[in-house]
Amino acid sequence: MKGRLIKIDPQNPDPEILRIAASVLREGGLVAFPTETVYGLGANALAKEAARRIFEAKGRPQDNPLIVHVADFAMTEELAVMNDRARALMRRFWPGPLTLVLEAREGIVPEEVRGGLATVGLRMPAHRVALELIRAAGLPIAAPSANKSGRPSPTEAITVLEDLGDAVDLILDAGSTRFGVESTVLDATGKHLVLLRPGGLSVEEVEAFTKEKVFLAIGADFKKRSPGTRYRHYAPSVPVLLMKDDEVFETVREIKADGGRWGYIGVRVPPVVPDELILLESLEEYAHVLFSSLRELERRGVDLILADWPEEIGIGRALRDRLSRAAEK
């Protein structure tokens, strides 16, 4: 059954397919499944051997922890030491694109899943297939994005197959994912909420709810607390330039002069006509298609990708984060 891709209805998932997928998970296998953000590569979050297979399949550094996906609030209390603020955030924003980092309960989620940290990242995805899969398995599911480490995250099932192939036992294909960028990761272990990764839920929405400032983790402390940010990520094989100023058009002209081709993705119309154009109507749409577009432009054989640089507000914060990491040399 290696690398099998099965279509599943996102609104009304076939219980028989879920039953098969759940048994693969219970036997220690890997199942890729859709969430509202991106596709996840799932394994039993309570079994270190299963988690190890995730790291192997992705080529992921061992010290980068996995998010544990749950389907009900009772499950979270078993896995982590809860506090009132975390409970309030969960009730308000779950299911949805928010991951909360909490102190792990001892001896429950294995160290392999936690990347050796004393904390655990929890999230309840807003997708019927994901929720019903977790319920059918009767287990919390550890799941990073289902891409090869360093590549753009998959927003479609076929991309999972392209990246991971035989390393996955089963891929549940429910069409393209709604947000396109991953969940917002908030550290809720301390006095203040700290943003470890901007994502589908905006900081503004969180602050409007908590009436508290969300702190941005920067510098060395940030890297310690958010291992994921240590690594190059989201990068296509083609260089990415960001449209922060007009200087980038010099590079674009050089590429043209050398007989090269370039592609553009963004919401603003670029002042120079590109060879390949992906123009979006809103920042939400930009986020929705960013990862698939990077892969698409790569497929169309461009020598350079120029990407629009959005305002740092709402989903723009997550876009800036993914874009600047995709553009890292």
According to CB under 5 A, which residues from 125 to 164 bind Mg ion? 145
Find the binder of ligand TXA among 53, 114, 178, 317 (CB under 6 A): 114
Which residues lie closer than 8 Å to 316 by C-beta, 6 or more apart? 283, 310
Sketch the per residue contact string, 37 through 56, with ligand TXA: x for CB under 6 A, - otherwise.
xx-x----------------
* 35 touches ligand TXA (CB under 6 A): yes
Find the binder of ligand TXA among 110, 121, 270, 316 (CB under 6 A): 121
Say whether the peptide bond before residue 110 is cis (omega within 30 degrees of 0). no
CA 4 to chain centre: 22
Distance between CA 295 and CA 287 in Å, rounded? 14
Distance between CA 322 and CA 329 in Å, rounded? 14
According to CB under 6 A, which residues from 188 to 217 bind ligand TXA? 196-197
The smaller minimum CB distance to ligand TXA, of residues 71 and 120, is found at 120
The smaller minimum CB distance to ligand TXA, of residues 191 and 211, is found at 191
Smallest gap from residue 225 Cβ to ligand TXA (A): 6
Token pair 């203040």 is found at 192
Q: List the one residue out of 127, 157, 163, 120 whose CA is nearest residue 142.
A: 120
The smaller minimum CB distance to ligand TXA, of residues 113 and 297, is found at 113
Where does the chain show beta strands of DSSP type E? 4-7, 31-33, 40-44, 67-69, 80-81, 98-104, 119-123, 141-142, 170-173, 184-187, 194-197, 215-216, 240-243, 262-266, 276-279, 304-308
The smaller minimum CB distance to ligand TXA, of residues 160 and 306, is found at 160
For residue 255, give both structure tokens: 């590429």
Find the binder of ligand TXA among 44, 99, 202, 292 (CB under 6 A): 99
- The size of the interface with ligand TXA (CB under 6 A), counted in residues, is 30
Smallest gap from residue 17 Cβ to Mg ion (A): 25
- Interface residues with ligand TXA (CB under 6 A) are 35, 37-38, 40, 64-67, 97, 99, 101, 114, 117, 119-121, 123, 125, 143-145, 182-183, 185, 196-197, 225-228
- The contact set with Mg ion (CB under 5 A) reads 145
